[in-house]
Amino acid sequence: METQIKHYENKLAFEMDPSDLFDALNNGEKVIALDARKAFGFEAEHIPNAINIPHREMSAETTKHLDKDVLYVTYCDGIGCNASTKGALNMTKLGFKVKELMGGIEWWKFDGYATEGSKGIKTGLKIECAC
């Protein structure tokens, strides 16, 4: 039973679902959604207020402007894409706190959250700043 408990604790330590990310963003937690796809995917559609650093371009140079006290939640298209996993690995190796978004942007949209970009869905639940 201890092995199973550790397994589930590890999953929660390294993954986040869309509703948890939405709540964290709305509650003003120190969290940033990081789109690990290529720029054209980000430009077409992304999580509101997300930043884009394609996993293939992550390096000390391309991330030097980022705050290491923030939790970065990497995402990609969804379960058929591993850009978020590669991005999470790269960011962790660079010394950042990271979790991976379960289901990527597809599960984000499935849960009814808005997206931005040229093909964004403006009618979903929106992230609101309370400051």
Question: Which residue, chain included where needed, has tokens 């394609």?
Answer: 54
Which parts of the chain register pLDDT below 70?
124-125, 127-131
Residue 59 lies in a domain: yes
For 105-131, what is each residue's pLDDT tens digit? 999 999 999 999 998 777 766 766 544
Is 14 a domain residue?
Answer: yes
| Residue 106 within any structural domain of the chain | yes
**Total tally of structural domains belonging to the chain:** 1
Kindly report the pTM of this predicted structure.
Answer: 0.91
State residue 129's pLDDT score: 55
In-domain check, residue 4 = yes
Residue 8 lies in domain: 1-111
CATH number at residue 90: 3.40.250.10
